Each structure stands twice: as structure tokens, then as C-alpha cells.
């Protein structure tokens, strides 16, 4: 899961998607991580507004620390999900030709009308609720899609 700062959207997506993986009894089979394309927040905890909004839905983001995407991630992970088109562009620039097809917009796997998770950093509280709504929707369908594709069910 990749966004810009790795303190709002992608940590939320990491924890929500991990929860969806556990709901399908696939913990231990599917590994989930997150990172940011930017370096400003490396080592920081998630934004307190993301943590608070997530906590209200029983997701705990508190142990996460921001890190930056590195070329090794593009090699190691089977799927790379970008939160918005800028993240997608930056990832495609970083990826080798044979890694390009691993990368997609996260919300392309969901059922909402959105194809980007809007950056909530300069938004009000509603922006953080919207992130959770969109990420929950995409996570639930994505885990079933991956499980089906790899015969995990
Ligand atoms: P994120 O949100 O990409 O969802 O983690 C942001 C966090 C920090 C900044 C921008 C977006 N920033 O400009 O510092």
C-alpha cells in the first residue's frame, strides 16, 4: 500500500486490508505492508487524525512507523497498490519493465465511484472518514480477488 507520506492513507490501507485478510483466514499467507513515495515523515507514527478515525472502527495504527518505498519493495511484493495517480506515476517510474504490471490503483479493485483515495492531510475530519470508507470497500473485494486468483480458498 503506497501513498505520499505513509502517515495517513497507506497505513490505514495496510491495517484495514490486513483485517480483511484475517477475515478470510489468510493471515500468514498474505503479507501486507505500506510505504510512502516521499521522505518527509520517515520514522513518524501515523497522523493522529488517521489513528483516531481508525480507532473508532477498532483498527489500531499505533505501532506503525513511516518509511519510504525502495526498489527492493518492487521486487519483493507481488502487488503494489497506489492510493492516487501521482503515487501510481511515481511507482511506475521507479519500477523495472517486468515490475510494471504489479502496480495498480488500489480503488480500481473496489466498487465505489472513486478511483483515487483523496489526500486527507489538509482536509477536515470528514476526509479521514472518507479514506476509511473507500479503503474498507476496496479491501473487502481485493482480498477475495487475490484469493480467487491464487486458489487460496
Ligand atoms: P498520506 O498524506 O500521503 O496519505 O500519508 C500526506 C501526509 C503528509 C503530506 C501529504 C500527504 N505532507 O505534505 O507532508
- Cα atoms in the Cβ-side hemisphere of radius 13 Å centred on 153: 12
As a whole number, mean pLDDT of residues 33-53 equals: 98
In the chain, at which residue ranges do the beta strands (DSSP E only) sit? 2-3, 35-36, 80-82, 103-105
Cell 516521499 sits on residue: 38
Lookup: cell for 142? 481485493
Lookup: cell for 128? 479521514
pLDDT digits (tens, 9 = 90+) for 62-99: 999 999 999 999 999 999 999 999 999 999 999 999 99
Given a cut of 90, whether residue 130 has pLDDT beyond it is: yes
As a whole number, mean pLDDT of residues 108-132 equals: 96
As a whole number, mean pLDDT of residues 35-54 equals: 98
Distance 101 CA to ligand 1 centre (A): 25
CATH of domain 2-149: 3.40.50.2300
Given a cut of 90, whether residue 153 has pLDDT beyond it is: no
Domain map (residue ranges) of the chain = 2-149
Pocket perturbation via mutation, ligand 1, pick of 5, 16, 130 by most ligand atoms within 8 A of CB: 5
Cell 510512502 sits on residue: 36
Residue 15 CB less than 6 A away from ligand 1: no
Report yes or no: 98 and 119 within 8 Å, Cβ to Cβ: no
Amino acid at each position: 500500500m503506497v501513498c505520499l507520506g505513509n502517515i495517513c492513507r497507506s497505513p490505514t490501507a495496510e491495517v484495514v486490508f490486513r483485517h480483511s485478510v484475517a477475515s478470510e483466514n489468510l493471515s500468514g499467507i498474505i503479507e501486507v505492508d505500506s510505504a510512502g513515495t516521499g521522505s518527509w515523515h520517515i520514522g513518524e507514527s501515523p497522523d493522529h487524525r488517521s489513528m483516531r478515525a481508525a480507532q473508532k472502527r477498532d483498527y489500531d495504527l499505533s505501532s506503525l512507523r513511516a518509511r519510504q518505498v525502495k526498489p527492493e519493495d518492487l521486487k519483493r511484493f507481488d502487488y503494489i497498490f497506489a492510493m492516487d495517480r501521482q503515487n501510481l506515476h511515481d511507482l511506475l517510474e521507479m519500477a523495472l519493465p517486468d515490475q510494471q504490471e504489479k502496480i495498480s490503483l488500489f480503488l480500481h479493485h473496489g466498487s465505489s465511484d472513486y478511483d483515487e483515495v483523496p489526500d486527507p492531510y489538509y482536509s477536515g475530519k470528514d476526509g479521514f472518514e472518507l479514506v476509511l470508507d473507500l479503503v474498507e470497500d476496496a479491501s473487502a473485494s481485493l482480498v477475495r480477488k487475490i484469493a480467487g486468483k491464487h486458489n487460496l480458498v
